[in-house]
Amino acid sequence: MPTPTTHDGTEPADRTQGEGEPPVCPAGGPMRDPAVRTVAVDGIRLAHRVTGPEDAPPVVLVHGRGENSTTWAEVAADLAADHRVYALDLRGHGLSDRRPGGYGFDAFRDEIGGFLKALGLTGATVVAHSMGAAAAYLLARDEPGLVGRLVLEEPPVFFPLDPPRPAAERPEGPLGFDWEIVPATDAQLNDPDPDWCDRLASITAPTLILAGGLTSHVPQDRLSWLADRIPGARLVTIDAGHLVHIARPDEFLSVVREFGL
């Protein structure tokens, strides 16, 4: 996962708005972006950007730690030509609600599943990066009928970190995400649930794993390990580092399109 950086300081959507209404910006006025919608999942209001034809096949885009749905802008614009694209802000990120004490890979797993169910997106393709990708493959493992296709960009694999990741220092200034996410997920990476590396053969969704090559901080041999344990998974390396979809969007899209999107 990328080292957390300072973002644009966006605050979560107003908690009093009606479900399905556009979120409210921090200044109190309506958001200018008509693509932004909200939906409540387990009492948490999740913002998401929706583009593309209403009757097109659905694709759900899930960001990594410290990011938000806008990280997918270029990818979403391309996919929206022939897909209904839902780019999600996970809890604690972007315009979605904060939930102190409620962060972790398991929480994000359940949240993605709840989002798919709430919007009637069973069978959608899920394209996810880093932290979001790890949550997505846990979901595809635990609820195999929910995800149609799975694209995992640079996901962490749940081997205990050795040496453990030290405590991170919060950057100065406003952040576009809740800093509590960092220590919560770092603790899980240092000492993950052993079950998270088991039962990967239960994933039935056709799976593409995108690796960023040797300039990524993610151990590439672990991505090979993951691909070997998901039935039929395809592993493709694009030498772009951890943020493949940003650094090499054309190559990213070419591989994703070839995968069947």
Q: Which of 191, 192, 221 is nearest to 134 (CA)?
A: 192
76 against 2, higher pLDDT:
76
Q: Is the pLDDT of residue 35 over 90?
A: no
Give the distance from CA 251 to its chain's centroid: 19
Residue 187 neighbours by CB under 8 Å, 6+ apart: none
Q: Is the pLDDT of residue 27 over 70?
A: no
> For all residues of the chain together, what is the average pLDDT?
89
Confidence of residue 32 (pLDDT cuts 50, 70, 90): low
Q: Is the pLDDT of residue 28 over 50?
A: no
Q: Is the pLDDT of residue 20 over 60?
A: no
- pLDDT recorded at residue 33: 77
Q: Is the pLDDT of residue 154 over 60?
A: yes
Tell me what the mean pLDDT of segment 199-227 comes to: 97
The tokens describing 103, both together, are 């962060």
Q: Is the pLDDT of residue 13 over 90?
A: no
Tens digits of residue pLDDT in 93-150: 999 999 999 999 999 999 999 999 999 999 999 999 999 999 999 999 999 999 999 9
pTM of the model: 0.88
Give the C-alpha separation, 257 to 261, whole Å.
5
Q: For 198, left (φ over 0), alpha (ψ -120 to 50), or beta?
A: beta
Tens digits of residue pLDDT in 172-208: 999 999 999 999 999 999 999 999 999 999 999 999 9
Q: Which of 144, 118, 154 is nearest to 40 (CA)?
A: 118
Q: Is the pLDDT of residue 17 over 50?
A: no
Confidence of residue 19 (pLDDT cuts 50, 70, 90): very low
Q: Is the pLDDT of residue 255 over 60?
A: yes
Please provide residue 46's backbone torsions phi and psi, each rounded to the nearest 5 degrees.
-105, 125
Give the C-alpha separation, 219 to 184, whole Å.
21
Q: Is the pLDDT of residue 16 over 70?
A: no
Give the C-alpha separation, 149 to 79, whole Å.
15
